[in-house]
Chains A and B, each alone.
Chain A
Amino acid sequence: MCGIAGLIHKGKQSNVGSQMTSMLQALKHRGPDSTGYAVYSEGKNDEFVMRVKVAEADDMSSGRGIYAELERRVSKIDEILQENGVEVKDKIKATEYALRYVIKFEGDMGRLANHIEEVKGAEILSIGNGLELIKDLGDAKDVSGAYGLNSFHGTHGIGHTRMATESDVDIRSAHPYWAFPYNDVSVVHNGQITNYWIMRRQMENKGHRFTSNCDSELLAVYTAHNLSQGIDLEESLRLSINEIDGVFTYLVATKDQLGMAKDTMAAKPLVLYESDDLIAMASEEVAIRAILPQEIDTYDPYDEEVRVWQA
């Protein structure tokens, strides 16, 4: 049981960060292990935001040596960026083990990402023009507080509160997953995927990388694979209903779109609210009510339903 939530403001920027926090905090009872956000703003076309973690939260308690080790890892990343001719516009340490780079780069982003992940303990959480992907252990208030998300203004976002069922409680298994190496594509998922290992092997044979043992990561890789084949988001969501087994409801966000898909048994919940300027969805109504005090009409999508909204 995890909680997922999504939000789109049509054609305008709004305080997506604090709204997402309210929604996810209302869903805390569905999963207290970790919380994640993928929020989108307009961004600058030639600049990319890259979020990297260089250790797990647990590693920080492994002794004094870890700090020196982290510094070594960060300087290694800086070295790699320099080697690849990346112009670093900004670099912030969001937490002791998570960094946010603003970079200018015109080369092959997938290759750069691969190089950076060669550094021990380094994992790229996201790369994108407008995407800020943040995930950490703790509830929504803890995470948004630590990463200063409440002041974030943007157009849309998705979020997740996780109850770990398929893999460990750590950042690597937390949602949202970035669809490596696709700029700005992220996925959150509620459910269990039963043909995970079969599909994972297929995807690995095609050259895709998995960083965790969490079944939800498959959806991100699967979406990335489809996009690389020229399949659009809506078609990818539709295909997944037949190709992926198990019970799932998942949301995919791109730079200007947000999509949802529900499995063939409609076993996992999602409540939808649609109006002309705002679309909100969440595992439970209580999350939507957390940001909309007025009386509204909501409904459940049916089995095999796929929807895509334009931000």
Chain B
Amino acid sequence: MASISDSDLKEMTQDERVKALGMTSEQLTGRSMFMEFDADASDRFLYPWAPEVDFNKRIEIDSDQMTSTEVNEEIKKFMDQGYGTIVLKNPRGKHSIGVGILSKLNLIIEGSTGYFGVGLIDGPNVRITGRVGWSCGENMMSGTVLIEKNAGSTFGAAIRGGDLVCRGSVGSRTGIDMKGGTILVGGDTGALSGFMMQRGRMVVCGNAGKNLGDSMYDGTIYVGGEIKSLGVDAVPAELTDLDKNWLTRKLTQYGMVPTKGVNHFQKIVAGKMLWNYDNLEPSEKKLIL
């Protein structure tokens, strides 16, 4: 299949674009439309009450003696004062750092965070130089989060948009219930990754644990290494040129293209047999499970 340029994609309607990219084939009714994050159009994604921040105004916060609540209040306070680049030092595994940031911001966390780091965010670019605990980026709506080391379990649970990137390995149940956006993992992922995934794309450059994509509704999972086992109703699909293009583009963005390229990636999608589970004959149900 011939490659499609960005300008072609812009010309298309949302439906056509989705089909051309071969990523999501069905629309779940009553859900919001799948949108690609476009840096040029980022202004459209701002909330009216979001503070005006200047990326060139930079400040450092030493969070060593602060509680999580104090750190988050401090971040909000500096954003209201127009600081667009905030560097957080010594997070030392604190939980819930940087949650609920709903505007543009460059947040650099120098160290490791605990549970629920940068959850519920909509817009900021976050870079974490250490490791993150469970549920990092949970429910994030847009923006980018880049983690330099490893991540815990339920990485990017219920993520709706944006790029969530971990250069190291992540724990189990990565992208559980994800509803959009992209999760990129440089290393391995644990069991039940992509469980009940509804939309979006997950890329794992290393190996995947057992029951990958169990009960997924839709969305796509790419795995560069070995898959221990596929979950119920997760099926392999053909890796098209469009997939390869997209993978190369996305991985290049974060400098994560494997040395042997992307041609060896396996693509996993939903078999969609579970969609009609209640209408199946008992013998057919056995075939799926």
Query: Could you tell me if A302 and B114 are in contact, using CB atoms closer than 8 angstroms?
Result: no
Query: Could you tell me if B153 and A286 are in contact, using CB atoms closer than 8 angstroms?
Result: no
Give the residue of A264, A285, A293, A303 whose beta carbon is less than 8 angstroms from that of B112.
A285
Query: Could you tell me if B152 and A269 are in contact, using CB atoms closer than 8 angstroms?
Result: yes
Q: Can you list 25 pairs linking A and B with CB atoms under 8 Å apart?
A: A265-B191, A265-B192, A269-B133, A269-B134, A269-B152, A271-B133, A284-B133, A285-B93, A285-B112, A285-B131, A286-B114, A289-B93, A290-B92, A297-B131, A298-B112, A298-B131, A299-B150, A300-B150, A300-B153, A300-B170, A300-B172, A302-B172, A302-B191, A303-B190, A303-B209
B167 adjacent to chain A (CB < 8 Å): no
What sequence of 0s and 1s flags, for each residue 190-224 of chain B, a beta carbon within 8 Å of any chain A beta carbon? Answer: 11100000000000000001100000000000000
Q: Quick one: which of B89-120 are within 8 Å of A by CB?
A: 92-95, 111-115
Query: Could you tell me if A300 and B171 are in contact, using CB atoms closer than 8 angstroms?
Result: yes
Which residues of the other chain, A, contact B133 by a CB distance below 8 angstroms? 269, 271, 284-285
Interface residues in chain B, defined as those with a beta carbon under 8 Å from any beta carbon in chain A: 92-95, 111-115, 130-131, 133-134, 149-150, 152-153, 168-173, 190-192, 209-210
Within the assembled complex, what's the spacing in Å between the Cα atoms of A284 and B92? 11
* Known A269-B134, A286-B93, A302-B171; further 14 A-B contacts with Cβ < 8 A: A284-B133, A285-B112, A285-B113, A286-B92, A286-B114, A287-B93, A295-B111, A295-B130, A297-B149, A300-B150, A300-B152, A300-B190, A302-B172, A303-B210
What sequence of 0s and 1s flags, for each residue 269-311 of chain A, a beta carbon within 8 Å of any chain B beta carbon? Answer: 1010000000000001111111001010111101100000000
Name the residue on A nearest B188 (C-beta): A302
Q: Quick one: which of A69-125 are within 8 Å of B by CB?
A: none
Query: Could you tell me if B111 and A269 are in contact, using CB atoms closer than 8 angstroms?
Result: no
Which residues of the other chain, A, contact B191 by a CB distance below 8 angstroms? 264-266, 302-303
Query: Could you tell me if B190 and A302 are in contact, using CB atoms closer than 8 angstroms?
Result: yes
B30 shortest CB reach to chain A, Å: 31
Within the assembled complex, what's the spacing in Å between the Cα atoms of A286 and B192? 26
Q: Please judge, given known A-B contacts A266-B190, A271-B152, whether A284 and B131 are in contact too, CB under 8 Å.
A: no
Which residues of the other chain, B, contact A299 by a CB distance below 8 angstroms? 131, 150, 168-169
Name the residue on A nearest B192 (C-beta): A265
Name the residue on A nearest B131 (C-beta): A298
Within the assembled complex, what's the spacing in Å between the Cα atoms of A295 and B111? 7
Within the assembled complex, what's the spacing in Å between the Cα atoms of A265 and B153? 11
Within the assembled complex, what's the spacing in Å between the Cα atoms of A286 and B92? 6
Within the assembled complex, what's the spacing in Å between the Cα atoms of A297 and B114? 14
Name the residue on A nearest B168 (C-beta): A299
Query: Could you tell me if A284 and B93 are in contact, using CB atoms closer than 8 angstroms?
Result: yes
B28 shortest CB reach to chain A, Å: 27
Q: A interface, by DSSP: helix, strand, loop or mixed? A: loop
B179 shortest CB reach to chain A, Å: 22
Which residues of the other chain, B, contact A286 by a CB distance below 8 angstroms? 92-95, 114
Interface size class of A (residues with CB under 8 A): 20 to 34
Query: Could you tell me if B114 and A269 are in contact, using CB atoms closer than 8 angstroms?
Result: no
A284 shortest CB reach to chain B, Å: 6
Within the assembled complex, what's the spacing in Å between the Cα atoms of A264 and B190? 11
Which residues of the other chain, A, contact B131 by a CB distance below 8 angstroms? 285, 297-299
Query: Could you tell me if A289 and B134 are in contact, using CB atoms closer than 8 angstroms?
Result: no
Which residues of the other chain, A, contact B172 by a CB distance below 8 angstroms? 265-266, 300, 302-303
Which residues of the other chain, A, contact B113 by a CB distance below 8 angstroms? 285
Within the assembled complex, what's the spacing in Å between the Cα atoms of A311 and B55? 50
Which residues of the other chain, B, contact A287 by a CB distance below 8 angstroms? 93
Query: Could you tell me if B209 and A289 are in contact, using CB atoms closer than 8 angstroms?
Result: no
Q: Please judge, given known A-B contacts A266-B171, A300-B153, whether A284 and B130 are in contact too, CB under 8 Å.
A: no
Which residues of the other chain, A, contact B152 by a CB distance below 8 angstroms? 269, 271, 300
Which residues of the other chain, B, contact A284 by a CB distance below 8 angstroms? 93, 95, 114-115, 133
Within the assembled complex, what's the spacing in Å between the Cα atoms of A264 and B228? 14
B115 shortest CB reach to chain A, Å: 7
Name the residue on A nearest B187 (C-beta): A299
Which residues of the other chain, A, contact B94 by a CB distance below 8 angstroms? 286
Within the assembled complex, what's the spacing in Å between the Cα atoms of A163 and B39? 46
Which residues of the other chain, B, contact A297 by a CB distance below 8 angstroms? 131, 149-150
Q: Please judge, given known A-B contacts A265-B191, A303-B172, whether A288 and B93 are in contact too, CB under 8 Å.
A: yes
Name the residue on B nearest A284 (C-beta): B114
Name the residue on A nearest B190 (C-beta): A302
Which residues of the other chain, B, contact A288 by a CB distance below 8 angstroms? 93
Q: Quick one: which of A196-255 are within 8 Å of B by CB?
A: none
B92 shortest CB reach to chain A, Å: 4
Query: Could you tell me if B169 and A289 are in contact, using CB atoms closer than 8 angstroms?
Result: no
Which residues of the other chain, A, contact B111 by a CB distance below 8 angstroms? 295
Which residues of the other chain, B, contact A289 by a CB distance below 8 angstroms? 92-93, 112
A-B pairs, top 3 by smallest CB distance, nearest first, are A285-B93, A286-B93, A266-B172
Which residues of the other chain, B, contact A271 by a CB distance below 8 angstroms? 133, 152
Within the assembled complex, what's the spacing in Å between the Cα atoms of A297 and B115? 16
Which residues of the other chain, B, contact A293 by a CB distance below 8 angstroms? 92
Give the residue of B114, B170, B171, B190 whose beta carbon is less than 8 angstroms from that of A285.
B114
Query: Could you tell me if B153 and A266 are in contact, using CB atoms closer than 8 angstroms?
Result: yes
Within the assembled complex, what's the spacing in Å between the Cα atoms of A302 and B149? 16
Most chain A CB within a 10 A radius of its CB, from B93, B130, B172: B93
Which residues of the other chain, A, contact B170 by a CB distance below 8 angstroms? 300
Within the assembled complex, what's the spacing in Å between the Cα atoms of A289 and B92? 6
